[in-house]
Chain A
Amino acid sequence: MAYAGNDLGKVGELTVALSGNGVLSTFVQPEEFVTGFHVMILSPKDAAMSTVEKLWWARCIWENRYRFSYGRQANRTLASLEVPATLPDWVHTLKVPTHEGLARAAGASVTLTDPTGTGWADFRLDALFDVKKGKRFTKASRVPGDTPFVGASEKNNGITDYCDLDPLHPAGVMTVVYNGNSVGYAFYQPEPFVASDDVNVLYPKVPMNRWVQLFVASIIKHQRSRFTYGYKWTLARMKRTVIRLPVATGGEPDWDFMERYVQGLQFSAALRPEMTVHELVNADVEKSAS
């Protein structure tokens, strides 16, 4: 590979960050690009190199991050970086997941009924859930580990950190941010976790699967606009908050409809617990091949 100079980057070239926090962050660029000053472009000498192979080399470069810091930047030494002489055979069998493959729905599409119509009814949150407050753990008191730490974030399912605390909440419940700019963001937690004191945890009073809880999460999120820094969604306020849900003939929430509706949306196939990323991708490949 050779340093390609500072002109327009081409499709399929690799970029390597040379300094800063992201030093040696390496990516395969899917489109033409321009870079900043402290980025080097790697252009494969073998024009036929596959994307998966490029990703392998990128990963190898990435592994060398520990060598660099603010005091020692990667500029001059990058060319002399040593990577494995050969790449393992299994790399050739990998496939890059595609948007089409990932976006598939698990079930048939279902039409959303009118939320203001008679098919929906109001329910107090504390009638559907036990609402519990998260607990305060300072950053200083946390040691890195495997337990998801759910904080006041709207990204990454609300998880801001992983720590070595024992989980305080089981998988299969929802978290709702009650404090800060991300107030009102609701997430289904698929793993046992710890919730910070910026978060309230909703335990379903009746069994609700992941599909149903994702539906309810989006309804909860719809309440976002009424809360601010000055008017937080505290435990007491959350308990008496009223949300609107589709109802079955008996007037109870129509859990079955919610489940079918969410399964009919894009990306739901990715959530089927038995599917791995590779199965998803391969399923797609088989489908498009047939």
Chain B
Amino acid sequence: MANERVTEDMVDAAMRALGYYDDEDAIVVEKQQSVVKAIREALSKASKTGKGRAGYPEFIVTSPDTPDIVVLVECKADTAKHESANRDKPVDFAVDGVLHYARFLSPRYTVIAIAVSGTRSSNLWSFFLMPKGETQPKVLVAPSGAEVDSLIPMDDLIRAASFDPMVHQRRERDLILFSQQMHEFMRNEAEMSEQEKPLAVAGTLIALSNDVFARTYDAYPARDLPDFWMRTIKDEVSKAKIPVSKVNNMTQPFTAIEVQPELSKSTHAYPKGLLSEIVRLLADRVLPFMTVYHDYDVVGRFYGEFLKYSGGDGKLGIVLTPKHVAELFALIANVNKNSVVVDPCAGTGSFLISAMMQMTKTATTEAEITSIKKDRLIGIEQRPSMYALAVSNMILRGDGKANLYQGSCFDTPNINAVKKHKDSSGRILRPNVGLINPPYAKSKADLSELRFVDNMLDMLEKGGTGVAIVPVSCATAASVEKQTILNKHTLEAVMSMPPELFTPVGAIACIMVFTAGVPHNVANKKSWFGYWREDGFVKIKNLGRVDRHHTWPGIRDRWISSWRNREVHPGESVTATVTAKDEWVAEAFMETDYSNLSQRDLERVLLDHALFVLKGSQPAETADDD
């Protein structure tokens, strides 16, 4: 009879060859039992016979950097025992067994379940993913879209699991909930203002990126930690090699946090002080997400969470770009490793980060990735605290040298700095992509949204692509700014966005796409208008708008492909020749889709009218207002 040990040894050898045993701190491979208490507890009633005793998978692999993912391996000696027809015989079959164990762990972990059977000469491998909170397995798929069919390095396994949209979403949800807890904590315990909270988070994350701080903060007494915290931030920012004047600009807002009296107080509940507690919470809950969840705009996410409660910022014209719109921008502009991207109203830097993600996807060498991060992302931000957040965001995302300027995007020195931006070797790299979400509804007439757009377009090299999200009124109302822009640049496209996009702020927006430096009448072509009103997101209490039904990737791809190919579909998109006098929106040109007009529509109108007539057109009984 075949021996299961042979199979286990084969798996062990495969892991060894792929470096699973190289760094004990990075990857923990355990057999049958785990030292992680939560895993042990979850498996303690997981026996395959279903009798409530403990279960022992052959391998349990974890990575402390990714505490929410567990890899389980179950072996069977004979390939005939690989998988049963209904996957319901966990005692006898490898696939059945590993999925059985996975279900015990999936309430708390995202599980990668691997079933192996056979010997060196003949064997079968199956890879499954059970996202946290799910009970049904999915086939594990690499980011490239290919099914995983042989053992791959741990990093790649984790990447494949992280790539899964459901895992992605679950993490996003966890992080939002955590940021809400953080908000409550900072408000109730530390009496911090809405502006200070994201700074405290950003500063702490920067400090935690310093190894010494991460290991020793716990040892500092309450009154000494703020000073250590501040010094670490300054060190880290200096390491980022931004000019000295900028280091001061950048770190100044954090000093306001440093001197918060509540933070350095030692209380009964928090003997080490509140700052220490904040650091601990972020170290436990957020840091792991950043190391793995690579496309995450953490600072922006937190900032958005805090903005929601402050309420006032909407009126100040600060409209935070939703993450999926930032992603859309990078795709509309079709950025790649050769792009040089500028955002003159950088805010928390979310456009730059999503552009960076998109650009690195097209890079093939380490040097290209370095060039993207160091030389190809440029931003300007006026408000000092926001500037500090943007720089933090870039530093945390691995941008060694943040090309972020503090000041007004209308100031000549800043404009020149962008136009004459040089890479590390001194070569001029003028931006060829501009992304902007300008401040809305500034009361000063000369600061209309379109002036920001015009200013951004002027920074780009000829033929560059500018993308802007602005209130619909900018597109529909006749304005001098529209004419000014068309005199110099070509209107390529306008997309009408979902009305609730900026919930809870009530701005209705559209995205405009321009080609810089080519006057509209010289280009002499039709513009493309998209009716992008349904992004599939739904409003959920406490979470805002979320892609609950996982429809966004499909909708996004359809939008982007129809834009890139200038496709025209009734009810969705249309092309038209426009001037500054016209309305630049799909609604004005689009053909109504009558194919869905049915008898029910007419019956509805008739019923309403008949009921009204039957009721009699007399003053209502009561003066109820509804």
Interface residues of chain A, those whose CB is within 8 Å of chain B, are 21-22, 97, 102, 112, 115-116, 120, 144-146, 148, 156-157, 159, 162, 186-188, 190-191, 214-215, 217-219, 221-223, 225-231, 237, 242-244, 261-262, 265-268, 270-271, 277
Contact A222 B601 (CB under 8 A): yes
Contact B472 A265 (CB under 8 A): no
Which of A116, A218, A243, A267 is close to B595, meaning CB atoms less than 8 Å apart?
Answer: A116
Which of A22, A191, A230 is close to B617, meaning CB atoms less than 8 Å apart?
Answer: A191
Chief secondary structure at chain B's binding surface: helix
Given A266-B606, A267-B607, A146 and B619 contact (CB-CB distance below 8 Å): yes
**In the assembled complex, how far is the CB of residue B614 from the closest CB belonging to chain A, in whole angstroms?**
6
Which of A22, A217, A271 is close to B613, meaning CB atoms less than 8 Å apart?
Answer: A271
Which of B508, B607, B617 is close to A231, meaning CB atoms less than 8 Å apart?
Answer: B508
A190 and B606 CA atoms in complex are apart in Å by 13
Does B624 sit within 8 A of A, measured CB to CB? Answer: yes
Contact B614 A217 (CB under 8 A): no
Chain B residue at smallest Cβ distance from A227: B587
Contact A228 B608 (CB under 8 A): no
**In the assembled complex, how far is the CB of residue A30 from the closest CB belonging to chain B, in whole angstroms?**
17
Chain B residue at smallest Cβ distance from A109: B599
Contact B471 A226 (CB under 8 A): no
Interchain residue pairs A-B with the least CB separation, the first 8: A230-B508, A230-B472, A267-B610, A115-B594, A218-B605, A162-B619, A157-B612, A226-B587
A97 and B606 CA atoms in complex are apart in Å by 18
Contact B592 A244 (CB under 8 A): yes
Residues in chain B near residue A159, CB distance under 8 A: 612, 617
**In the assembled complex, how far is the CB of residue B499 from the closest CB belonging to chain A, in whole angstroms?**
5
Given A227-B587, A231-B476, A112 and B622 contact (CB-CB distance below 8 Å): no
Extra contacts, 8 of them, besides A226-B531, A229-B499, A230-B509 (Cβ < 8 A), are A21-B622, A97-B614, A159-B612, A162-B619, A218-B605, A222-B597, A231-B496, A271-B613
Given A222-B592, A231-B508, A157 and B602 contact (CB-CB distance below 8 Å): no
A270 and B615 CA atoms in complex are apart in Å by 11
Given A115-B595, A116-B594, A223-B592, A218 and B602 contact (CB-CB distance below 8 Å): yes
Residues in chain B near residue A268, CB distance under 8 A: 606, 610
Interface residues of chain B, those whose CB is within 8 Å of chain A, are 471-473, 476, 496, 499, 506, 508-509, 531, 533, 585-588, 590, 592, 594-595, 597-599, 601-615, 617-620, 622, 624
Contact A265 B612 (CB under 8 A): no
Residues in chain A near residue B613, CB distance under 8 A: 190, 270-271
Chain B residue at smallest Cβ distance from A159: B617
Chain B residue at smallest Cβ distance from A162: B619
Can you name 10 A-B residue pairings with CB atoms under 8 Å?
A: A22-B622, A116-B594, A120-B594, A157-B612, A218-B604, A228-B508, A230-B472, A237-B588, A267-B611, A270-B610
**In the assembled complex, how far is the CB of residue A261 from the closest CB belonging to chain B, in whole angstroms?**
7
Residues in chain B near residue A223, CB distance under 8 A: 592
Residues in chain A near residue B602, CB distance under 8 A: 112, 214-215, 218, 261-262, 265
- Interface centre among B531, B607, B624, by most A CB within 10 Å? B607
Contact A157 B620 (CB under 8 A): no
**In the assembled complex, how far is the CB of residue A57 from the closest CB belonging to chain B, in whole angstroms?**
17
Contact B609 A271 (CB under 8 A): yes
A77 and B602 CA atoms in complex are apart in Å by 48
Residues in chain B near residue A22, CB distance under 8 A: 622, 624
Residues in chain B near residue A102, CB distance under 8 A: 610, 614
Chain B residue at smallest Cβ distance from A188: B609
Chain A residue at smallest Cβ distance from B508: A230
A227 and B608 CA atoms in complex are apart in Å by 22
A143 and B71 CA atoms in complex are apart in Å by 74
A25 and B531 CA atoms in complex are apart in Å by 47
Contact A144 B607 (CB under 8 A): no
Contact B603 A265 (CB under 8 A): yes
Residues in chain A near residue B603, CB distance under 8 A: 265-267
Residues in chain B near residue A237, CB distance under 8 A: 588
- Interface centre among A148, A187, A218, A271, by most B CB within 10 Å? A218
Residues in chain A near residue B605, CB distance under 8 A: 186, 214, 217-218, 221
Contact A115 B597 (CB under 8 A): yes
Residues in chain B near residue A186, CB distance under 8 A: 605
Contact A221 B610 (CB under 8 A): no
- Interface centre among A116, A187, A230, A266, by most B CB within 10 Å? A230
Residues in chain A near residue B592, CB distance under 8 A: 222-223, 226, 242-244
Contact B606 A230 (CB under 8 A): no
Residues in chain B near residue A221, CB distance under 8 A: 601, 605
Given A102-B614, A222-B592, A230-B471, A262 and B499 contact (CB-CB distance below 8 Å): no
